[in-house]
Structure 1
Amino acid sequence: MTVDRQRWSRVRPVVVLALIAALITACAGTGATDAESDGTPAPGTPTATAQPGQVGDSTPPADPDHSVEPPGPVQLPLLPADILIYSQEPLSPDMVKRIGKLPGIAEAEQLSMAQVAVQDYTLVVAAVEPASYRRFTPSVSAQLQEAWDRVAGGEVAVDPKLGKRLQEEGGHLRLGNGEQDPVVHIGAYAPQVPRIDAVVNAKWGETLGMRTGNAMLISTGMASPQSIRKPLQRIAGDQASVQILGPDLDLDVAQTAFLTGGSVAQAVGSFSYQVLGGGRIQPDAAWEAANIRTEQVPILGNVRCHKVMLPQLRAALNEVQVRGLADKINPNEYAGCYYPRFIANSTNLSLHSWGIALDMNVPGNQRGTVGEMDRQVVAIFKKWGFAWGGDWSWTDPMHFELARLVDAR
């Protein structure tokens, strides 16, 4: 199939906040079904719901500082999201132009993507042009008009399972793991394109400092995604991954990890990685060599973490020791810091993949419990820039993660 030039001319950069990814399998990597092509949800399609409240022409946007033009009614036909191109840097105009000339590209939407630390998850969040991006989502989401009105009004549409687990009081989602990181109201629970967990509009992307236009969604129409992937990879080169979207990660493709959302994210850097299987990943060797260190710290002994975190970890443990609380941390129950992996049963990167999280006193501090972690120790770690998993809606009291940079000299 040749490119529809008028459609391609409407492809424009939008900002995607690519938050650390829940796997959405609905409509992944397939052509549009008969039900989808006319806008009717297929039987068994996941549901999408808007948060309570009314959004319309007569209702002010929820966040005027982050509102954009309302999207209007959905434009048919809906489109399968077949291929995702994702890079650490913006896609060049020349690359975009060359992709547009490839036979087999039916529609494309340029995006920006990155991961955002939310508790121990790294969410892939997308800041999009609601009117055009919605056509790539599962039909149940594409047709939920209120969801896209709310995204345009400055709220977030999020994968239902993750949104309900990670939301804070009042239905808000904190885009980062620090107390000062921005908070956005959840406007809708709606399944998204595979590899994307949550969606905001372009103004939010600007606020979050996203790298504009570093990704692209492609619908191949009647052509098979497999037939297009190699030509796309030749154009993208080594700087971008080209992956076929589906229920499982494409193990042959180098993935991209780009953390955003605050000073910690800027300090730890971004890396490409290969999926090893068994929930593990292998980050780029150059990034690992430049950032991951094995050093000795009080109480725990040798730890392997990101170099940015080590001074603050050492300072926190030193204060624990000086205050006579060393017996509150059992070094034999320390479960590690740098461990490149996904969150269990997901394709969302754990913050352990960056080496900025650690688990202590594991047996008595399991997920979903109040835990036995001494609260004086918790207070010391918070003082030195760490967030504690015991504060989360679904608790993880063994877990501490770097949330802000503190001068630990």
Structure 2
Amino acid sequence: MCDEHDDHVADASSGRRELDRRHVLSLLGLGLVTAACGSGPEETRRASAATSGSASPAAKGSKATPGAGTEDVAVAEPGPFEPPTRSSDVLVYSQDPLSKASLREIAAIGGIVQVEPMALTSFYVDDTQVTCAAVDPSTFRRFTQPGTAQTQAVWERVAAGEIAVEPRIRKLQTKDGFLKISNESDARTIHIGAYAGLLPEISARRIDAVVNTKWGDLLEMVPGNAALVAMGSTSPQSVRKKLQAAAGDKASVLILGPDLDIGATQTVVLSGGSVSRAVGSFSYTANPDGTVNPDPAWVAANIRTETMPIIGRVTGHRVMLPQLRGALTQVVTEGLAAKIYTYDGCYVPRFIARDPSRGLSFHTYGTAIDLNAADNYRGIAGAMDRNVVRIFKNWGFAWGGDWNYTDPMHFELAKLVKG
């Protein structure tokens, strides 16, 4: 990252007239800037898109050498933008790939202009749910905000193997300009190539970041498990039943807009590492008070209540509870039991701060626990005993006290370990 990157606003295409001051300021408001100053497409292909245990993408035209610690994460460069842009009216989202037959049936519904398949997943960085799409840069760009769609540099960087992110999650970048793909200890990182407004006018359901399809494969995203649907003048509500029938009962059909569609079944698919794979994906419905109702079948298969040392009965995810027991047992063994004096929640299915626009709380999965809340609230160093922190980290937990905006009461599962 370089200090002057906010001043670099790429023109949408050659031959366009110079942007006037108002339009430039509007693009800066969207964060439509490239994040690697002074580099062109060839340099972008060489830019670091590092992974845990691997190096940067291969240069244009080359292939990664097996065993050499490099991965080719570049796809074909997109051509110039071809209008028109498309509205993002409906999101179809499933835990499984949408079949070609379903996509054809959706596209054939009267009033639908275009269907854009993609892979869609979520991961967590600090306390933030990031929804990420693996896309074809040449076609997905039409569904983004006009300034983003027309800015060639954004899509060249995505094609080259970098990630484009919404300005609102800028705080999550590392000091050297990367985004970690989850809180897990084995998570990959991807170099941020651009800050850009993605879906227009969306608050209740967002796409926060986009990568190319090769990254989708490396991140083990479910290929083609989602699609954006653009309507013409037809109301999305009028064809919702047809969309649901075409997509199948397991798919969520969400009308995109500023308010959460309370009645709709929603889907979350997690990526990031071994913990995400163990936790699994599920559908859920939302309540007006900001709580959510995960699929009862997922709850029955994964959520347990057990009695723990020090804190008593805890309801949480089956893969987390053994490690929690191990950590608390070691706390007792080391004579530190008095350092944990309140248990303040584990499995609490809700949105972050009960605000749908902020995504699901990590507590929804039953893999996070809050302790000693009264003395360890957000934004302070907290009074959590650092030996307790050490023990929890040894048992595979990440600590919220390490976040940029601290949450020292909070521990969450970041690694699977054997007792």
TM-score range, shorter chain: 0.7 to 0.9
Deviates more, 1:309-318 or 1:392-401: 392-401
Matched, 1:133 2:150: no
Q: CA deviation at 1:60?
A: 4.5
Matched, 1:145 2:141: no
What one-letter code is carried by the residue in structure 1 that aligns with 2:348? Answer: Y
Q: Which residue of 1 aligns with 2:220?
A: 209
What one-letter code is carried by the residue in structure 1 that aligns with 2:177? Answer: G
Paired with 2:216 and 2:42, the residues of 1 have a C-alpha distance of 26
Of residues 365, 375, 390, the one that matches 2:386 is: 375
Note the alpha carbon deviations across 1:330-385, whole angstroms, 9 max, x for none.
Answer: 12xx2200000111233411110010011111122122222221111111111101
Q: Which residue of 1 aligns with 2:123?
A: 116
Structure 1 segment 313-328 matched on structure 2, within 5 A = 313-328=324-339
Q: CA deviation at 1:257?
A: 1.4
Paired with 2:289 and 2:374, the residues of 1 have a C-alpha distance of 23
Q: CA deviation at 1:216?
A: 0.6
Q: Which residue of 2 aligns with 1:13?
A: none
Q: What SS class does the counterpart of residue 112 from structure 1 fall into? A: strand
- 8 A contact 1:41–1:139 mirrored in 2: no
- 8 A contact 1:55–1:149 mirrored in 2: no
Q: CA deviation at 1:43?
A: 9.4
Aligned length: 366
Structure 1 segment 214-363 matched on structure 2, within 5 A = 214-331=225-342, 334-344=343-353, 345=355, 346-363=357-374
Residues 42/50 of structure 1: CA separation in 2 closer, same or farther (3 Å cut): closer
What one-letter code is carried by the residue in structure 1 that aligns with 2:142? Answer: R
Percent same amino acid among aligned pairs?
51
**TM-score, length basis structure 2:** 0.84
- 8 A contact 2:128–2:358 mirrored in 1: no
Q: CA deviation at 1:120?
A: 2.6
Q: CA deviation at 1:89?
A: 0.3
Matched, 1:107 2:114: yes
- 8 A contact 1:338–1:355 mirrored in 2: yes
Paired with 1:44 and 1:68, the residues of 2 have a C-alpha distance of 30
**TM-score, length basis structure 1:** 0.86
Of residues 385, 402, 405, the one that matches 2:413 is: 402
- 8 A contact 2:86–2:142 mirrored in 1: yes
Paired with 2:85 and 2:132, the residues of 1 have a C-alpha distance of 21
In the TM superposition, structure 1's runs of 4+ consecutive aligned residues that sit over 4 Å from their partners are 40-46
Q: Which residue of 1 aligns with 2:8?
A: none
- 8 A contact 2:346–2:366 mirrored in 1: yes
Matched, 1:54 2:8: no
Paired with 2:374 and 2:76, the residues of 1 have a C-alpha distance of 51
Paired with 2:377 and 2:152, the residues of 1 have a C-alpha distance of 40
Structure 2: 5+ residue stretches without partners:
1-21, 48-56, 59-71
- 8 A contact 1:119–1:177 mirrored in 2: yes
Structure 1: 5+ residue stretches without partners:
1-39
Q: CA deviation at 1:143?
A: 2.4
- 8 A contact 2:41–2:157 mirrored in 1: no
Taking only aligned residues, the RMSD between alpha carbons, in angstroms, comes to: 1.8
Deviates more, 1:199-208 or 1:343-352: 343-352
Paired with 1:399 and 1:192, the residues of 2 have a C-alpha distance of 31
Matched, 1:176 2:182: yes
What one-letter code is carried by the residue in structure 1 that aligns with 2:367? Answer: I
- 8 A contact 1:55–1:146 mirrored in 2: no
What one-letter code is carried by the residue in structure 2 that aligns with 1:316? Answer: A
Q: What SS class does the counterpart of residue 375 from structure 2 fall into? A: coil
- 8 A contact 2:186–2:274 mirrored in 1: no
Q: What SS class does the counterpart of residue 277 from structure 1 fall into? A: coil
Q: What SS class does the counterpart of residue 154 from structure 2 fall into? A: helix
Deviates more, 1:293-302 or 1:343-352: 343-352
Matched, 1:385 2:369: no
